[in-house]
Every structure is written in structure tokens, then in C-alpha cells.
Structure 1
Amino acid sequence: GVVDLTGDETRWMDHGQGDRAVSFSSPVWSDDGEHLIAWAGAVDHKDAWLQLLDLETGGTRTIVHEHDDAWVRGFRTGRLARGDGPAYGWMPDDERVYFLSERDGYFHLYVTGLDGGDPTQLTSGRFGLVDLRLSKDDERWYFISNEVHPAENQLYTMPLEGGARTRLTTESGWYTYQLSPDEIHVALTYSNATQPRELFVMPTRAGAALTQLFTATKAEFHRHDWRESEIVTFDDGEGHTIYADVWVPDRPLPGRPAIIRVHGAGWAQGVSRRWTNTLPFLHYLAQEGYIVLNLDYRGSRGYGRDFRTGIYRHMGETEVRSGLAAVEYLVTEQGVDRERIGLFGGSYGGFFTLMSMFKHPGVFKAGAVRAPVTDWAHYNHGYTTRILNAPYDDTEAYERSSPIYLAEGLEDHLLIQHGVQDGNVHFQDSVRLAQRLLELRKKNWEIMIYPVEAHSLQNEDYNRYDVMRRRVDLFNRVLRAPAKPQRSGPDAR
């Protein structure tokens, strides 16, 4: 709505889509103050329109139309998603606008005029852009990209009208950035697979040396032998390349048992050259003799539109096939005993684990889930309706994607863990699953509740310790090879 400051009348903007449910996001003025643009997104996530707003009439004119048969990236129930929406704004001439779009399969930069003609693509390739910024002198762009490798985030600059991209950062790893007010320097956070995030500063020129401002990690951290994983790839059987981290211990346990970790959030990235709070536990498992694989399944971030939308209308299908492909990799390439493979994850990773065990019994001998979604009809509407449509319009998609309806398939060992105060995946999801397993008279499963814990185990150290300890106990009990019987008598050697 628009309010004239000289009166009290509100003029509501017409998005031009009739009765279709549409939401506007924050508008952006041109520098000359003459024009205003804003994204209008359909609540069903299939379309978004970058529109020129007429404040006098309340009318709009579409400059850019984005459509995706699955869901348009970067919107939640029509509004730009925080931290992921397609950046947009005005070019310096105030006659063109720029925006990020996934229309060619990856998130790239486009420029178009106000007439709504075909946009000009300024970047292209099998990589994406995030954190796009225009320099104060209007001569160049700054952005983060994974062009060098899907597991890395590097800082680049590029001329205003496109052309050669210049990589400013050089060390392998993961960067975020903040330009100084005069843009002569840039502050960077940097981490890699064996080094937690630290703060640096460097001149904004290619290959310039980084100056570390202080050391955030304690000396004790550096006394540990943090080993960088090997990033491997394998095919999922459908022509998609799956990325994974692998740690192989110096002295694997008998039978070479393996544990697969699956990340949460669904559209997130687990395989990356950065430090995360999951790495110490994965290192510990490898230290104990397990071969550890950290999986970026179909639906993960960083691999383009087709990889992202592979889960549309059937969560727990294509991404689980990524897990099955990981099993084959472990058996054929790492010599893992097929009968000694475990799986664990939290939130979406917990959902993934349940779907894997319920739909493919016998493949994963032990699974540990924390705060798992068990019925998508009860989860966050803005998140779920992008992928499964509205529950009242597509009940089939919800039922075939929800573990609660597939629990009869459980045959292997399962540990369920959930915080009572979880405001993200509600505690009821685990309670309902426990009730269903009781009704089915299932064996070899257990549940542990944490009365004062929320979703991400941020409240108490003793809860985090207990979660990890019970996981390790489960895997040790189920996956470790039994000790060979000792021979006795005169022939014993």
C-alpha cells in the first residue's frame, strides 16, 4: 500500500494477477527517485514478477517474469526469502534493472530495460552467485561464487556490463565479505575443512595478501590431528553427480564398517571446504575406526536448479537414491562390509534417515535421528508447500513423502532423539512415530527425549553430549564386528 503523507488515504497496488494469491516484497527506488520496482511472488511458488510500480494509479507493469514448474527459488509464500532471494536493483543509468535468476539452471546475473524485453545475461556457467553488490563508483560488481568448485565460496569482481571475472581470494576454502566504506579494503571471514572461521582484511585487488586480525581458536584446538576429507563423486544411477566427503581411518575396524551423515534443512550444503560444528563428531567417528561419508544428496544446495528440484512432490525418493548410491560407492571403492553401514542426521537429515530405513530395510543396519520430520502436513507451511504443494491440494505428495505412513518397513536398529521445546520440528512428530511403532509391534528401536532442549541442541552441553554418546553406543553395538573367539589347547597359536 501507498500512503500520501498529506492525507490519510491508502492506495493499494494491483499486482495484475487477478484473484491469484500474490505477495509483494520490499520495493527499491531508482537513484533519481522517479521509479519504484518490487518483486511480486505467487503464494503457490510457481511464478514471480519483477514489477514497475505506478504510485499514482496503483497499477503495475511486469518487467521480468520468472516461472518454474516446481518452485521459483528464493521465495516463501510469495515473499523474498531472507538471505536467499534473487538480489535486484537499479543500474546506474536508472533505465535498466538487474536481478539474479536461475532460468538457465544456475543463479546468474541479468540486466533488462523497463520495457520488459529479453534480459541480457552477464554471467553464465555451471556455478551460481550469492551476496551480489554494486560498487559505490558504479563501475563493478562484487559477489561470492562457487565457480572454482562446488565446495568452495570465493570472492570475485566483474565490470558493470559483464566480461571477465576476477577472483580476489586465492586460498581454498569458504569466504564471506564486507567492503570497507571506501571499498579500498575488504573484511573477510575465512575457514576451511581443518580451520574454524577467522577474521581477515585485504586490499580489494586480486591475489592481495590477507592479514589476520586476531585468532579466535584456542591453542587446544590445534593440538588435535584434524584431517581434511577427500571429496569424492559418484553417479546416482540417474545421470546426476553426487558429491561426498570421505574420511578413511589409518586403522579401520574389522569389516571396515561405515557411517553416513546426512545434513539437515534439505536445501543446504554439507560438503564444503569450511569448518562446521558437525566436523568434530565426524572426525571422532573416523578416529574410532569407522569410514565416514558426509553426503550431499539430491535437493542439496550448490548444484543448480535441476539438482534442487529433484525432490518435487516426492521427498524421500530421489535424495534417498543418493544414499543408496553412496552405499554402493562405500562397498565397491572403500571395501566396506555391506552388512555394517549406519546412517544418521538431524531435522531433514533425520527425515532422510527414516525414509531410507523404512523404504529400504536391511541396507542401513543402524540409524540415529534427531528431531525428524515424520509428517510434512504438520511442518512449516512456507517451507513445505514449495516442494509438495498445499496439503489440501496434493494429499498424495504428502502421504508418500511422510515417514509416519511408511513405518511398517522398519526392520533395523533405530534411535530417535528429540527436544521437547523444539519450535521448528515439533516434538509431536517423534511422539506420533513412537506410537505408530508401538502399534506395529516393532523391535530394536528406542526414543530419548530432552525436556529442556530445542531444535538445534543449543541449550545445554550435557544434552549435546548425551545425543552424541547414544549415537556412538548404537553404532558400536550394531556395526562393530564381534571379537574372534580365542583358540585354546595345544594347537592354539
Structure 2
Amino acid sequence: MKIQIIAAALSFSLAACSNTQLNEQLNTSVPAKVQGAVATSAQATDTITLKQIMADPDWFGRAPESWYWGDDSNTVYYQQKQIGNPLRDLYAVKLLKNNETSQVDLSSKHKIADQNGLLNQTRTRKVYTFNGDVFVKTLANDEVKQLTFTSSTERNAVFLTNDNIAYQVGNIFYAHNVQTGQIKELANLKMSEKPTGIQPPKSYLAVEQHKLIDYMALQQRNSELKQTQKERLANENQTIHDTKFYFGKGNRVAHASLSPAGDKLLVSITSAKSSRNKSDIMPNYITKDGVIAAEKVRARVANNRQYQEQLFLLDLATGKQQALRYDNLPGFDDDVLASVKTENFAREGKVYKSEKKARNIHVLQMVNPIKWSDDGQQLALMLEAWDNKTRWLTSVDFVKNELVTQHKLHDDAWINWSFNEFGWLNASSTASLYYLSEESGYSHLYHKELDAKAVKLTSGKFEVSSVTPMLDSQRFIFKANKKHPGIYEIYQVDLAKKLIALTDLGGTNDYTLSPDESKLLIEHSTVTMPPELYVQRLKAGDVAQQITHTVSEQFLALPWTAPSVIAIESSKQKAPIYSKVYFPKNFDKTSEKNRAVMFTHGAGYLQNSHLGWSGYFREFMFHSMLVQQGYVVIDMDYRASAGYGREWRTAIYRHMGKPEVEDMRDGVNWLIENANVDAKRVGTYGGSYGGFLTLMSMFTDPDLFASGSAIRLVSDWAYYNHGYTSNILNTPQDDAIAYERSSPIYFAEGLKKPLLINAPMVDDNVFFEDTVRLVQRLIELEKQDFETAIYPVEPHGFVQPSSWLDEYRRIYKLFENTL
């Protein structure tokens, strides 16, 4: 194995402490409660303890959340968690007053709760909702007017092109004239059959009843007269306005989007029938009334049904309701699973016959999948096939009432749920779109005029995301890991493909552009430093200024270990496996070979070997503690991790757990060859997908690790959700082979080394059932070398410090006893 250190994060102190006894480490005490906003450095020691690590995270800082610009582009707002409870306070930072920071009073919060507000076309007013009511702000004088005072929940407030305001209540759309106060109902979407009016008697008995009983005949006549008068009134009196559109009983609105011109509405309708099976429940044993609760939870992929959505274009002026068909989308009827079904049929001794058949298609599940141009004259939407193989970016031809494909993206594996951003360039002289696509193997930015070929604006082995088009429709701001897979900086590119790096902060960075486009608000972090907010002028080479300081002195004073990010040569493919490696002091000079731990991150498609602050911050601190005691720790971005392009992402298609375990073996071999590690003294642990990989590695490659701990594990993918699992393994009905070779429960016979299973019981993500079934399987296989720890009140992501501490005491004890 070749060693190549790609990047190393800065640390506050790399001083390693001597090894401690197990009981001493488990029981070292820290202050029970955090006193004040931050702990002082006097409280800190050089020893990192489990009890400190697993305490309420308030002890090390409460990072800024939900940050955004004020309208003046010189004020920044952010939320911060209160100490010891889940409530958040809102703060304002005045940039022109030396970053003066103050808490926003609850009484005035409605005036600045406009983070997601929308501007009118002249950019002089903003509309937004607060606590279910609609507010309008005049930007010139900061005057705020409350438009609605109702117990209903108004949402999706927008300006129309005539400067009126539209909003939605349930499935009813309204236009509100701010000047006159008049409210007009634009559309009422009814999930019922259209009334047929007064019907004459039809059955024999009904006809005879009307013949023989004068009262019944009179009632029929009066009803018909009233109906005729009502119809005449609607036709002849302009104050009468019928806005009802009927979509049939048993359906629901999946998406509805109103044109800025207020004249059209795009509606997506699907069945109201739940995909849940009645058996999709989660028992909750610890409840406030002492009674077991059968919580309704998400459907299992094995139970989930196929679905599609029907698109309708509504003309609000004429009341016309036009269905938009999918049959002009290229590939709408392709049998994309033909090879998969052929393989599965053959296993059963059957022959699969492929044929063309319309696929189930729906609006892609993403933020804002339906986009109107500012003038309401153009409409674009992102569609996806239910089988996850094809994505269509379409516009709508309002003359022909049909979808027009602007871009088709097909992937034999699955379309990424990330990198689907798109929108209109409204200042362009001709209608044009921008969008992201992985078609080159990496997410890149494209520009396309409706009647022209798309132009690729960025290129290279890096991923583009978080795109912001600028007002001139000539430039874009975006985030990308261009200079290193684990470093995310902010860039600018124009339609001429001129690319400029705006930041050079290292680590990871997210941003938002100021309203006047003069500055960036940046959330910046490094491996050893939690996120803080910075402001930088929109100018290459400008220095970002830190405006928040929320990390505690106690955290800063502790000797955290900064890992090196290393590109480990793979034995299976050309691309390297980027990994964080935590080295103890003098690791290469120890009298005996070192022991090591491999941490495996969760989510599958997630990146953890980056150079920013990790969501696995407790694990980072745990690794620093292990390093103090002489452990080497490795944290790998195995195949299927995010950040490395489409090929890396889809390497696990139809066989989860095989490529990743191959990468894990390469990681262990690297430690043996380069970090003076004893091959027989390597343990592993991980949660969720990491728990799954702990099982797969210990079941299918039983000599790889000396011990392992699987946390909130997946043991059988047929029991996981549809959205994630069907992307990678298709469905059990179509591809049972993929599920069987990807699920640890089928390989439990291979367990040879000590296994610790840690399972939360109110986990509505990975059900506790996965653990129960696996444990029963291990019992039936007469396996003895495993233990199970359950956590009755914990969800998928543990919350209680006591649970975190108990869990990691057990993991630490496992490694101390087996390595």
C-alpha cells in the first residue's frame, strides 16, 4: 500500500496522554451541569473522558443555526439553542456597529421572520408568513403590515405580477389586494366527484313515485327551478365566481403551484391511499400513561406500493382543466429493469419477457420541484420515474398543453436525490434554464435556452451544489469541492465559463448571498472547530471576518487530535479511498504493535472524511480519547460515500455491503503496513449504515476484525424504507437477489468474533425489529459471542446523555477487553 497524505487538519493540541485503566476512564467525573454560557478553561483538564464527551453538547458550544441576511445586507440573523433545553433564541448581528450582537425580542420577531420571504418584481416589498399569517414589508422604511389575522394557516405567500399577494389555505388559493383589502378566491381544489346537478328519476320505483305522489313531483320541479336560477345567476352576475376544480374521491394534492400572473395553476394529484401496511407499527414501551403505544410509522420497502401522479394545468380564467400526459417523455415506457427481472426469473426457472409499458412517473421529491418564470409565462418542473432510473426536466407548452423535455438524465443504477437544483434565468432576453446534472460522472452546472443545446458551465472531478443565480442572469454562485474532495469552498462562474474561487478558508463552507449581492454570509468549520459565521465581500481574495464566537473555552483547551486525511490505494478500483487517520504520539516507535479501531460512518451516501466539523462530533471526541491511550483510529469514506462522484456513489448498486467491506479490508491492510498496527488487534464500530457494515464485515469477512459494535443496525433491507432502499436494491418483488445478498441476516452464520449490538427501541428509521430478528437468528445458529444492549426511550439518533454514555462505555469496554 502506498501512503499519500492529502491534507491534515489543524489541531489545538496534539499532546497525547498516557494510557489509563478501564475503570478509571469509565468513571472520571465532570461537572454535572454546564454553568453559564461557556465553561472556563480552568474547568478543563488534559484528559478527555467519556463522561465529558457524552454530556449534553451545550458544554462545548451552541453553534449558530438557521442563519440569514437582513434586508439591509448589513445585518445578520441566526438562532441559537438555549442552555439545557431545546428552545432557540433569535439574535441579530449589526455589521456596521462592530458586529454588535443582541437578542431579538419575541414581541418584534414577526418583523424579521422573513428568511424565506419573496420580493415583488420591483424588489421594493417582501411577503412572508409568520405563525400562519401573511405579512408584507416595505423595504424602503422597514414598515411591516400584517395582512391576515386568522386561525387558519396561510402558506406559500407570493407576489403576483400585478403586485397583489396570493397565498394558500389548505387546497384553496386566494389573491389579496393590499390596497383595497379585497380577497378573491382563485381556485378550490376538491377531492371529490363533480356534482351532476338535479337528476330526473331513473329507476322504475322512482318514476312511479313521481307519477303517483304529487308532493314528490313538486319537490323535483322546485329543485330544478332553483338549480336553473343558480346557473343563470352565475352566468349573468359578475360577482359570482365558481373556482371549484374536481379531482375525484380518494385522491390528494401532491403538489400545487400558482403562476405569478395568477392565471394558471399546476396541480399534481395522486391517490390518498397510504403506502403503509397496517403491520407497519413501532411499539413504544415507555409512555407517559404507562401503556404500550403502537406508533404508526413509515412503510417497509417490501410493503410499499408503486404510485404515480397525474398532472393538471388549470386555467383560472376559464375554469378549464387540462391533463398533461407523460407519453411524450423520451423513455417513458422503457423496461429499465429487464436485465434485473431476467436474472431473478432465471433463478426461479422462469423466463422473463420484456415489453414496453408506461412507467409510473411523479414530480421529484425535492425543494421547489415546480418553477415559474417571474412573469408567469414559462413553467418548468422536475419529474422522476418510480423506478428511480430516469429524471426529466420539462417545460410546459401552454398552447399545446403538453410537456416539453428540456433534459433527460438516465442512470442504470439510480438517480441521485441530491444535485437536482434548477431554475429560470429571468433577466435573460430569451427563456433559459440552469440545472445540475451528474451525466458527466460529477454534479455540474448547465445552462440551456429552451430551443438550444445545453452548455456545460463547470467541469472536472468535483461536485457542484447550492447554486444561486445572480440578478444579472449572467453569473452563478455555488459550493464545490474543487481543490480537494473534503474541502468545500465558494465559487462564481459566468455564462462564458469564467470560474473564480471566492473563498479560500479550507474546511467546509456553506453560504448565502446578501440581498444586494455585495457579500457572502458563510458558515465555516474545520475538523476540530465547530461551525461559526463569517462575512466576506463578494470579491476573490477578500478575507472573511468571523462574526460569531460560540465555542466554549473548555472545548478549545482540550487536546483534540486532528486526523490526517489520507488517500489509501484501493485493491479493487483506480480511485483512492479517502480516510481520516488519527495517529497517537510516537505510533511508529512503540515497543509492540499498536491496536486500532475503524469507525464506519452511517447513511451510506454521506461524507465524513472531509476537513470540516462532523455531524459525528461525539465520535470525533471519542477518537481523540482513544488516541490518548495509544489507539490508531481510521474513518473511511468507503465506496457509496458522498463527495466523490457518480461511479463511487453507485458502486453498491444491487450488492450493498460487498464493495464497502473490500474497502474496509484495504483500510486495515493500510494500517498494518503504515501505522505499525497489529492485524489481530483491530476493532470496528458504526451506527445505522455503519452498523450494517459492522455486521457485513464480521459475517462475511470474519477474520478482518477482532471485535465490533453494531449500533442502530440494519439487518434486513426488506424492512427498511422505500425511498432509500429501492434506489439501490430496486424492490424485493423485482429483485429478491439483491436483497438477499445485501442483508446481514442471511450471513449471520459467519460470526466468529465478539459482537456488541446497541439498539434504540423507539427508532422509527431503522426499526428495533431488525435487532430482534437478528438476535433470534443468532440464537438459532447457537452463536454465543454476542451481547445486546437496548435503549428503551431512544430514537434513531440518541438524545439522552445517559444513553450516549452507557452506549460508549460498552463500546470502549469491548475494545479494551478484546484488543
Specify if TM > 0.5: yes
Which structure 1 residue ranges, 5 or more long, are not aligned?
75-83, 480-493
Letter in 2 for 1:462: S
State yes or no: 1:106 paired with 2:446: no
1 or 2 for the larger relative contact order (CA 8 Å, sep ≥6)? Answer: 2
Per-residue deviation, 1:173: 0.9
Cross-structure match for 1:466: 806
256, 262, 265: which one aligns with 2:600 = 262
Q: Does 1:241 align with 2:576?
A: yes
* CA distance in 2: counterparts of 1:182 and 1:49, whole angstroms: 34
Query: One-letter code of the match for 1:183?
Result: E
1:260–1:343 CA contact under 8 A, matched in 2? yes
Residues 702 and 753 of structure 2 are in contact (CA less than 8 Å); yes or no, is this contact kept in structure 1?
yes
Q: How many Å apart are 1:225 and its aligned residue? A: 1.5
SS of corresponding position for 2:680: coil
Show the 5 A alignment for 1:19-38.
19-25=358-364, 26-38=369-381
> What corresponds to 1:413 in structure 2?
754
Secondary structure of the residue that 2:493 maps to in structure 1?
strand
Residue 407 of structure 1 deviates from its aligned partner by: 0.4
Aligned pairs for 1:58-457 (under 5 A) are 58-74=401-417, 84-91=418-425, 92-115=428-451, 118-159=453-494, 161-238=495-572, 239-250=574-585, 254-276=592-614, 277=617, 278-457=619-798
Q: Which residue of 2 aligns with 1:40?
A: 383
Larger radius of gyration: 2
- How far the C-alpha of 1:370 sits from its partner, in A, is 0.6
Whether contact under 8 Å (1:418, 1:430) holds in the other structure is yes
Query: What code does the residue aligned with 2:606 have?
Result: A
> CA separation in 2, counterparts of 1:413 and 1:162?
59
Query: SS of the counterpart of 1:338?
Result: strand
Query: Which letter maps to 2:537?
Result: P
Distance in 2 separating the partners of 1:93 and 1:296: 45
More off after superposition, 382-391 vs 51-60 = 51-60
Report the Cα offset of residue 6 of structure 1.
4.1
8 Å CA contact retained: 1:312, 1:387: yes
Question: Which sections of structure 2, spanning at least 5 residues, go unmatched?
Answer: 1-311, 334-357
**Quick check: 439-448 or 229-238, which moved more?**
229-238
Distance 2:752 2:458 in 1: 50
Partners of 2:507 and 2:779 in 1: how far apart?
A: 47
Deviation at 1:85, TM superposition (A): 4.0
Distance 1:40 1:324 in 2: 40
CA distance in 2, matches of 1:58, 1:40: 17
Question: Equivalents in 2 of 1:472, 1:352: separation in Å?
Answer: 19
8 Å CA contact 2:711–2:758 kept in 1: the answer is: yes
Q: Deviations over 1:364-414 (max 9, x none)?
A: 011111111111011010101111111100000000000011100000110
Q: 1:334 deviation in Å?
A: 1.0
Q: CA deviation at 1:55?
A: 4.3
Alignment CA distance shift 1:93-1:423 (3 Å): farther
In the TM superposition, what whole-angstrom CA distance separates every residue of 1:403-452 from its partner, at most 9, and x where no partner exists? Answer: 01110000011000111000100110011111110010112100000000
Shift of 1:465: 0.8
Distance 1:141 1:308, change over 3 A: same
How far off its partner does 1:67 sit? 0.7
Specify the alignment match of 2:24 in structure 1.
none
Give the Cα–Cα distance (whole angstroms) in 2 for the partners of residues 138 and 314 of structure 1: 43
Tell me which residue corresponds to 2:262.
Answer: none
1:12 match: secondary structure: strand
Cα deviation code 1:175-200 (max 9, x no counterpart)? 00011111111111100011111111
Q: Is the 8 A contact 1:173 1:274 kept in 2?
A: yes
Separation in structure 1 between the aligned mates of residue 401 and residue 657 of structure 2, nearest angstrom: 44
Overall identity of the aligned pairs, in %: 39
SS at 2:404's partner residue?
Answer: strand
Partners of 1:123 and 1:162 within 8 A in 2: no
Shift of 1:164: 2.7
AA of the residue aligned to 1:144: K
Distance 1:51 1:287, change over 3 A: same
Deviations 1:187-232 (A, max 9, x none): 1110001111111111111121222212111110111122321111
CA distance in 1, matches of 2:783, 2:493: 59
Work out whether 1:4 is the aligned partner of 2:315: yes
SS of the residue corresponding to residue 525 of structure 2 reads strand
CA distance in 1 between partners of 2:743 and 2:478 (Å): 38
Residues 108, 121 of structure 1: 8 Å contact kept = yes
Letter matched to residue 393 of structure 1? D
CA distance in 1, matches of 2:709, 2:810: 9
Cα distance in 1 for partners of 2:785, 2:707 equals: 10
- Distance between the aligned counterparts of 1:93 and 1:257, measured in 2? 65
Q: 2:324 aligns with which of 6, 13, 21?
A: 13
Q: State how far apart, in whole Å, the 2-side matches of 1:227 and 1:256 are.
A: 17
SS in 2 for 1:215: coil
Q: Deviations over 1:92-144 (max 9, x none)?
A: 234221111111110001122323x5421111001010101101232311000
Decide whether the 8 Å contact of 1:15 with 1:40 is kept in 2.
no
> Aligned partners of 1:172 and 1:14: how far apart in 2?
48
Q: Which amino acid aligns with 2:444?
A: H
How many angstroms does 1:70 deviate by?
0.6
- Distance in 2, matches of 1:152 and 1:259, equals 25
Q: Secondary structure, in 3 states, of the residue corresponding to 1:431?
A: helix
Deviations 1:250-274, CA, capped at 9 Å, x for gaps: 1558430110011100010010111
Size of the aligned set, in residue pairs, is 467
8 Å contact kept, 1:127–1:150? yes
Aligned-partner Cα distance in 2 for 1:94–1:88: 17
2:491 aligned counterpart, secondary structure: strand
Question: 1:9: Cα distance to partner?
Answer: 5.2
Give distance in 2, aligned partners of 1:125 and 1:59.
Answer: 36
Distance across 1 between alignment mates of 2:817 and 2:735:
41
